[in-house]
Every structure is written in C-alpha cells, then in structure tokens.
Structure 1
Amino acid sequence: MKKIQMVDLQSQYQKIKTEVDASIMNVIESAAFINGPEVKQFQEDLEKYLDVKHVIPCGNGTDALQIALMALGLEPGDEVVTADFTFAATVEVIDLLKLKSVLVDVNLDTFTVDTEKLKAAITPKTKAIIPVHLFGQCANMDEVMAIAKEHNLYVVEDTAQAIGAEYKGKKAGTIGDIGCTSFFPSKNLGCYGDGGAIFTNNDELAHRLRGIVNHGMYKRYYHDEVGVNSRLDSMQAAVLRHKLPHLDGYNAARLAAATYYSEAFAEIDELVTPVISSDSTHVFHQYTLRVLNGKRDALQAFLTEKEIPAMIYYPVPLRKQKAYDSGDYVDADFPNTDTLVAEVMSLPMHTELDEEQLVYITSAVKEFFGK
C-alpha cells in the first residue's frame, strides 16, 4: 500500500506530467514569465468554467481577499463581518487595511456562517460581509445576499476551499460582488507554488481590481491609485490551465472518497460525519468529522501510530488568537465555534485515495471505537 498522505500531489502530477511539463518548458523557452499568454488563456478558461464576466489572476488567495477589499473603497474603521471559525487570512487582510473585523458564530452542521448571528452583528459601520465557503461547500448565500441587500453591504466570497462547488446552480465565488480563491498546491485546483484569483460580474469593480493588482496602474508608469504587486506567474498559469479541465473529475473523486468514509462510519455514534447542504454541492477540500465525548485527541494519536495522518483545522478560534484578540469577545457567546474547535478532525482527502487506503483508514477508525 502506498504511504497515506493528507494530500498526494505527487501521484496526481504523474497523471498529467507530460502535458504540464511541456507547458512549463514552453514558458521557459518563450521567456514570457510575467503576464504571458498562459496567464491570459487560463483567465479566459476560468471565466468560461465559472460563467463569470471577469477573472483577475493574482499572487495568492490572501492577496485576492486584500485586493477585493481595497477595490471597495472602504475607510479605516469600517466593519467587515465574517466567521470566527476559519483560517486567519480572512481577518488578516481586514486588519492590514485598518478595517474592523467583526466575528460571528458558525453553524454546527455545515461549519459556515450562522446567518442569524450575522444579522445581529450588523451596525451602521458595517460595510461588507465575507462568507467563507469552508471545507468545500457554500454558505447560505440566499440569506447572506438578502442581509446584504437590506443593509446595502458588499459581499466578498472566500472561495479558497470551494472552487467548483455550486450553490443552487451557480458556481461558488460568482454570487456576491466579488469572489476570491487560492491556488495553493493543496487546494482542489492547485498550482505548483502560490497563486490566486478574483472574480466579479461588475465591470467597474473589475477595472479597479485590474489596476490594484498592478501597482495601481492602468497605463504604464501612471499610477491612478495605491495598488500592490500581485501577479500569477506564467508557469503557475500553465499548470492551472492543464489542471482546470480535470477539476470536476478531481472533485468527483473527493466526493466518492467522502461518501466511502461516511458510509463506513454510519454506525459509530461518537462520530458526526460531514453534512451536505441541500442548497450546495460539496467538493470536500477537507473531510472533517466531529469526534464526540472528548475522544478527538486520542483518536488522532491512535491514527498517527498507524501512520494515518489526521489534522485539526482550526484549534483556536480567531477571536482568541493573540494577533486578533481585540477584547471585544470576552463574554461573547460562540457555542458552535467552541464546540467545533474541541471536536473537529480531518482525515486524508485528495484525488488519489484508492480503495486499499480507504479500507485501511476506515478500519483503523472502527478499531478505535471497537466496531
């Protein structure tokens, strides 16, 4: 049996090695390393795949979020509401821009933002909402968009973990004003370095975004606004261009592995398997269980002994992180987030999991629970 990994990028690469290698060599031979033809072609391919008017490639997913907020013209002190249970990049960019992050609890079943708590968090200073499509499925975008419309707020979708997922037939990242994603190697659509992209159907926002990613320039050496230097390089675009046609297949393989896991664990009362929303498909960037009765850490240690990796995303909520603890949440009630940080654990999830590996992993989990 092959060594079990959280993500097996080597095996995935071997299946597309010939075409990827040829494209990378073409970039090297052409010396079109920045904004070359591969970037333009990937941009157009992704626009078609997402059915969105504008894709703006950039350097990474964190840059995508920052640039999106910069394009909205927000002022220092403006409030941006997002989930407490997510990766730090979502609030990192808010604080970097001197905006104020307002954190709210998530749903216990889908791990996405609790829209009732979201409603309660809106103040006259609120200017934007960042729903996070965590672990591979979409937040309740009907409710998010209704709240945004009622209060005249921008919506920036964090789609770093859900590229290819659909909410009522629309691709994740194309429902709000702006969508952002990451092409970090372990993502469902990952390159071989850093990369990201921003999506929008708004022509005016697209124009601003294109300037901001390129030092605020729309004409060379004429800087119309403060921008950044954030570009998807041509070699990463070449990789992504060849992986994009495989994305739906990759996501289907992840779903198949997730289904195998969930069926295997159906009779274990101390495990809560991932819930798939009726409104959203799930592309399973992670397969994340809840382990009840305080057994999570013991199960992780047991699996480690059997050389099965298992990760805990995210052990500390954002409101308690040293960098983002504003003191605003000392007495706040975040029951679902606090439950999740004590119970969640993610099993290996990638496109190359085979039946032998899945049998070994699920058998080990069953053994731990005496099944």
Structure 2
Amino acid sequence: MDFIDLKTQYQRDKQAIWERLSRNMENASFILGPDVAELEKTLAHYVGVKHAIGVASGTDALLIPLLAYGIGPGDEVITTPFTFVATVEVIALLGAKPVFVDIDPKTYLIDIHQVEKAITPRTKGIISVSLYGQTPDMDALNSIAKKHNLWVMEDAAQSFGAIYKDKKSCNLSDVAATSFFPSKPLGCYGDGGMIFTNDDELALKMRQIANHGQHVRYQHCYVGINARLDTLQAAVLLAKWPHFEEEANSRHHIGQRYTELLKNTVVTPVLEKNTTRSVYAQYTIRVQNRDSVINFLKDKGIPTAVHYPIPLHLQEAYRSLGYKEGDFPHAEKAAQEVMSLPMHPFLTEETMQYIVDNVKQAVR
C-alpha cells in the first residue's frame, strides 16, 4: 500500500507527460520555455489572480516575497510553530525574527485570536499556514493586518485547490506561495513552486528577483537569486492539470469519508468554519499512543507519517529565539499526538475500510 499513490496517477497521465516532455526536448526549451508561461497563465486563471510566478521550489516561493518586501535584520514576521520548517527558515535566513503564535487545537491552524497580541512596532507581516489542506480564517487575519498596516502571505504549500468561502486558496491575501513537491495535491517530479498576487508592482519585482534580479538580460535592478521553475517540471504539471479539479474533489470526499468512518474512534480533522473544500494534503488524526498505533499499522502493511513531530520553537536551529517548552502548548501537544494516514485521490472504499478497521484495532 502506498502512502501517496503517484504510480497510479503516472499510469493515467503517462502519454500526456511524455508528449509534453518530448516536445520540450526536441525544442531544447529547458530554461523559461513556453510551458512555464502557459502554466503560470493557467494557474493564475484557476486561482483568480492577476499574476502567477513559477519558481524552483515551495521554499523559493516563500523566500522571494520576503525579499521583495525588503525583510531583513530588525524586522519581525508572525507565523505558527506547527508547520514545515521552510515557513520559518526563510524569515531567519534574511536575518529577521520569526514570532510565533500558537495554533487552534482543533484545526491546527494559527489561532487568529492570538495574532494581534504578537504584533510589535517591528512587525512587518504575517505568514499564515494553510495546513493539511485548508486555510485559516483569512478574512479575519486580513482585517487584523490591515488595521496594523501589515502584509499577509499565505503559505499554501498544502492547500492549492482548497476553497475558502467562494475563493480559492492562493487568492486570499496580499501574496501566496505554493509548492509542487511530488506529494502535494498538485505535484511535479522534483521541486517546484509558484507565487500568486494581484499586486502589479510586487509581481514584477518578484519575477525579477527570481531571475537574478534582472529586468532585461545583464541588467540587474535587485539583488536576486536563481529560482526559475524548470520547464520540464512545468510540462509535467500541465500534463497532470486536466485531472486536477476532479482529484481535488476526490480528496475532499475521501477525507470526509475517512472522518465518517473514524468518528468516535480517534480525533479526526476539523474543518475551519469557512472551508468549502479541503484538499486534505494529509489526512491527520490524533491518538494518545502514537508509536504503538504506527507500529501496529506498519505490521498490517499500512504506511503512516507524522506531520510534524517537533514544533519549530523547540528545534535546535531556532533556540536563539528564546522560546521554551510550554510556550505554545497546543502546538506541543499536537506534535506528540498527530499522525497521518494514506491519502490520495485513488483510495478505494475497500482500502479505506481496511485502514479504518486496523486503526480501530490499534487504538483499543
């Protein structure tokens, strides 16, 4: 059994993928080839924003907006400690200070009610993390940011395709970043990412920063980096794209079915009140005896994962921030109890039932 079934997806899309790749090989369109521009246009239209900028990874998609905003030493950026490390490392790499806010213990999303208390004169912006496939209450977060003249970036690495009210994830804030890591709801065959915004000036600056800071060849307006989305990865994404909406709906329905089957057995995911569709990048439950449950399921041929076992404020790399155990109790408790079950659009009812039956046995 696969935790994420990329093999079935590949068999379905194999012909389209190789047609796209072969075309690029024959044309030698390896760097910023036409498939990159086509993907940007396609995804911008899907999300409902003016600008989409393809970049080399989800981490680059987080870093480049911070560079464009001029974030540096002395600045503070508010985010959550319960996320993948990339959310925070991009802040720290620029010499700025990540300021953490605890999570809502039910949704694992940033606790909106605690954000305002974390704002100081040095705060420049907020990175909200759309964890496990759904977004926080972005309207409430944007309202707080506007009141304090801050920008908001959605870390949508796990939520591309999710719907908040009637709008897509990546079109809910000043700027958004997503990842095309192979296991994501829309994944390529390596690293890749994209930035979304409606801000014309910001978009132009970010596009230039991602290509060595140049506005025309050999003329550099900004200190930039090499963060271009590889054309071959764009080709893979375009080949997969015709099936994405169907897969996003399948993810939502499979996640809801899991919840129905597991209710009263374990703590199941709770959707934020404004979530119309979660893409369940992970289907994450909570159990008291996690190690024994994981080992029991492993013996039954069921793979699992833990996203994430150590909150970022307790990681060695971020000890200098001065946080200690007990500062963010909800994030710390979740880190000790969460575990993710197999989740992908091709899960059958039979396979789900097998997984659920064994989870029930494991937690007895």
User: Does 2:298 match 1:312?
Assistant: no
Amino acid at match of 1:276: L
- Number of aligned residues: 363
Instruction: Tell me the distance in 1 between the aligned counterparts of 2:264 and 2:94.
Output: 48
Unaligned ranges ≥5, structure 1: none
**In the TM superposition, what is the alpha-carbon distance from 1:366 to its structure 2 partner?**
1.8
Hey, what does 1:26 align to over in structure 2? 23
DSSP-derived class of the 1:131 partner: strand
Q: Describe how 1:322-361 pairs up with structure 2 within 5 A.
A: 322-330=316-324, 333-361=327-355
After superposition, the C-alpha distances for 1:141-160 in whole angstroms (9 at most, x for unaligned) are 11210110011001111000
| Residues 1:163 and 2:150 are matched in the alignment | no
Structure 1 residue runs of 4+, over 4 Å off?
none
* Preserved CA contact (<8 Å) 2:82 2:103: yes
Asked if residue 254 in structure 1 is aligned to residue 251 in structure 2, the reply is: yes
Q: Compute the displacement of 1:332 (Å).
A: 5.3
Say whether 1:126 aligns with 2:123: yes
Q: Aligned partners of 1:245, 1:333: CA distance in 2, in Å?
A: 45
Matched ranges for 1:83-232 at <5 A? 83-232=80-229
- Measured at CA, do residues 353 and 225 of structure 1 come closer, stay the same or move farther in structure 2, by a change above 3 Å? same
Instruction: State the 1:354 CA deviation.
Output: 1.6
The answer to whether the 8 A contact 1:319-1:326 is kept is: no
- State the distance in 2 between where 1:319 and 1:332 align: 10
Q: Between the two proteins, what is the percent identity of the paired residues? A: 48
Q: 1:54-69 to 2 correspondence within 5 Å?
A: 54-69=51-66
Greater alpha carbon shift after TM alignment, 122-131 vs 230-239: 230-239
CA–CA distance in 2 between the matches of 1:61 and 1:19?
Answer: 24
Question: Which residue identity lines up with residue 277 of structure 1 in the other structure?
Answer: E
What amino acid maps onto 2:318 in structure 1?
Y
C-alpha deviation, 1:234, in angstroms: 1.1
Matching residue within 237, 242, 249 for 2:239: 242
Provide the residue aligned with 2:273 in structure 1: 278
Change (3 A) 1:234 1:327: closer
How many Å separate the matches in 1 of 2:19 and 2:303?
Answer: 33
Residue number among 288, 298, 302 corresponding to 2:284 in the alignment: 288
Instruction: Tell me, in whole angstroms, the C-alpha distance in 2 between the residues paired with 1:367 and 1:156.
Output: 42
Instruction: Please give the TM-score of this superposition, normalised by the length of structure 2.
Output: 0.97
Taking the aligned partners of 1:259 and 1:45, their CA distance within structure 2 comes to 28
Q: Would you say 1:366 and 2:341 are equivalent positions?
A: no
- 1:35 touches 1:233 (CA, 8 Å); kept in 2? yes
Q: Alpha-carbon deviations, 1:96-151, whole Å to 9, x = none?
A: 11111111100011110001221111000000100000000001111210110011
Give the 5 Å matches for 1:29-48: 29-48=26-45
Q: Which amino acid aligns with 2:146?
A: K
Q: 3-state DSSP class of the match of 1:127?
A: strand
Deviations 1:276-308 (A, max 9, x none): 1220121100000011xx322211110011110
Counterparts of 2:332 and 2:44, CA distance in 1: 38
The answer to whether the Cα contact below 8 Å between 1:6 and 1:347 also exists between their aligned partners in 2 is yes
Q: State the AA in 1 paired with 2:281.
A: H
- For 1:179, what is the secondary structure of its paired residue? strand
Shift of 1:69: 0.4
CA contact 2:289–2:363 (8 Å) conserved in 1: no
Counterpart residue identity of residue 162, structure 1: S
Q: 1:241-298 deviations in whole A, cap 9, x for unaligned?
A: 1222322211122122212211111232xx111111220121100000011xx32221
Q: Which amino acid aligns with 1:274?
A: P
- How far 1:331 moved relative to its partner? 6.5
Aligned-partner residue type, residue 285 of structure 2: L
> What SS does structure 1 have at the residue aligned with 2:316?
coil
Give the residue type in structure 2 aligned to 1:165: A
Partner letter of residue 9 of structure 1?
L
Distance 1:152 1:186, change over 3 A: same
Tell me, yes or no, if the aligned pair for 1:217 and 1:224 is still in contact at 8 Å: yes
In structure 1, the residue matched to 2:10 is 13
Q: RMSD across aligned C-alpha pairs, in angstroms?
A: 1.2
Q: Give the partner amino acid of 2:184.
A: K
CA contact (8 A) 1:318 1:325 kept: no
